[in-house]
Amino acid sequence: MEHLKVAIGALAIVIGLSLIAGEAPAQSAPDWGKAEYESNCASCHGLGGKGDGPLSESFRPKAADLTTLATRNDGVFPAQRVYEIIDGRQEVAAHGPRAMPVWGRDYRSHVPDMTLGDIQIYGLKDAVAHNKLVALVDYLHRLQVK
């Protein structure tokens, strides 16, 4: 009887250990910026950001190399400029006009732009659009060549 108890105890330990060992590896956090980039930018700018996406050849000039944004700006990544290019405040002809960019409504604010006297007030971005934009800008920052 004692032997049986020991055997059952040992078996329980073996099963327990194998459950722990078989546990799924800790999931790494999803990379939202990369996902945004791959769905909305890579077709022209290329998966690695080098400007060599399959559609790039159709444009004159070709899609820009997005890995050298910092080196072309005295080593400083132009985060604000990139943000404004994507939200449409700075237009790039190949991206389409502000009202209908190639990536559709993904980064659009839901409040219309207004002018107050001389001051142009841009629509407040909803949190989802803003967060997608920040994730994308962060991803482009990480793509910079050293």
| Positions in the binding site for ligand HEC (CB under 6 A) | 40-41, 43-45, 55, 59, 61, 63-64, 66, 69, 82, 85-86, 92, 94-95, 102-103, 136
**Closest to ligand HEC by CB, 18 or 91:** 91
Q: CA angle, corner 144, sides to 70 and 59, nearest 5?
A: 85
In this structure, the number of other CB atoms found within 10 A of the CB of residue 139 comes to: 20
Nearest to 66 by CA among 93, 84, 41: 41
**Closest to ligand HEC by CB, 69 or 135:** 69
**Closest to ligand HEC by CB, 17 or 57:** 57
Shortest distance (Å) from residue 59 CB to ligand HEC: 4
Shortest distance (Å) from residue 137 CB to ligand HEC: 8
N-terminal to C-terminal alpha carbon distance within the chain:
69
Contact 73, 140 (CB under 8 A): no
**Closest to ligand HEC by CB, 62 or 123:** 62
